[in-house]
Amino acid sequence: MKTQRSRSLLLIRKEFCSSMIDADTIVVVEMGLTQRGFKVDAFEDSKTVLQNFKARLYDLVILDVLMKGLDSFELYNRLREIDENVQICFITASNTFYEKYKKLYPRIEKECFIQKPITIKKLATIINSIL
């Protein structure tokens, strides 16, 4: 009988210095997703992500469009070089990014642009539909 491993997420957040989201919120998101059966690793900047990211370790990567260090689309390219099969989604408070970046990154699906604000329940539903 095949055992199902926990679904592993890499959640990358920007440095929380704006009013979009704060450090307490990321803890709540991590806890909420963990309670729903996800293994969540969260990093604050692209440098730390690149130091810790390994091929086939994560089922899904969620990048905040606005983040410290490399821009999230540059990080997307770097992660693809390490693991071309990992599913990568973006989370943003803006709905303009999809149209702008779809031409540059044709592999990005519209459902992989997650709109903030979002509840943990809705985020988990979106993640489950992607995985």
Query: What pLDDT, on the 0 to 100 scale, is given for residue 22?
Result: 54
Query: What pLDDT, on the 0 to 100 scale, is given for residue 19?
Result: 34
Domain membership of residue 86 (yes or no) is: yes
Domain membership of residue 2 (yes or no) is: no
Domain membership of residue 63 (yes or no) is: yes
Note the residue count of the chain. Answer: 131
The total number of structural domains in the chain stands at 1
For the chain (131 residues), the mean pLDDT of every run of 10, in chain order, is: 54 43 70 89 83 91 79 87 90 72 70 81 90 85
Domain membership of residue 1 (yes or no) is: no
Range of the domain at 107: 7-130
Which DSSP string do the residues of 53-92 spell out, in sequence order?
--TTS-SEEEEESS-BSS-HHHHHHHHHHH-TT-EEEEEE
- Check: CB of residue 92 under 8 Å from CB of residue 83: no
Domain membership of residue 35 (yes or no) is: yes
Q: How far is C-alpha 110 from the chain's CA centre?
A: 14
Query: What pLDDT, on the 0 to 100 scale, is given for residue 11?
Result: 66
Distance, CA of 87 to CA of 105 (rounded, Å): 13
Q: What is the pTM of this model?
A: 0.78
Residue 50 sits in a domain whose CATH number is 3.40.50.2300
